Chain A
């Protein structure tokens, strides 16, 4: 298959590294009071406020990590993988809009909805894509 603007295979590991890195960073930020998800009004406002910068950094790390995991090439990137990729993306968009519409109707917390919208498509895509590939591998090992 020709290159379809996918990241190299090793980017998957870099992506997982960034996703894992995001966890202690957020915990650290929360314990130091830099992120307070329960507080709707941050103490210091503005683009360059510490709280906002920290939020942007951790969100960017998580998003970049998920993005790399989702769009890194497989070892053998053939047409079936491409087909599964497209199908998983379609499902991810369906689920994303379903979640978005439900949250639009029932939840009034717009900032958290945005955050949800940022993760849901990528996370669902990764889960669905990996699950189908896992099933293919299982089928292969079962048939020998």
Chain B
């Protein structure tokens, strides 16, 4: 699964630390999600989407092979 959190963060002009604080996780977790090394749970994905005020599918997309 890929995501465009990095792009959305740039649009909203917030840092990884800001996003981490808003969704209640560590900065490491946001960093690994952004680099596609960790797939978040549905709850965390929904929380992230809510921060950006966008539907889940606009932030997270399935890749081929998923």
Instruction: Provide the residues of chain B in CB contact with A136, threshold 8 Å.
Output: 28, 31-32
Measured between C-beta atoms, what is the minimum distance from A129 to chain B in Å? 13
Residues of B bordering A, CB below 8 Å: 24-29, 31-32, 35, 38, 40-41, 44
Among B24, B25, B31, B41, point to the contact of A143 (Cβ < 8 A).
B31
Cα–Cα, bound, A133→B31 (Å): 13
Interface size class of A (residues with CB under 8 A): 10 to 19
Measured between C-beta atoms, what is the minimum distance from A1 to chain B in Å? 8
Measured between C-beta atoms, what is the minimum distance from A33 to chain B in Å? 49
Among B25, B27, B31, B35, point to the contact of A79 (Cβ < 8 A).
B25
Interface string of A45-79 (1 = CB under 8 A from B): 00000000000000000000000000000111011
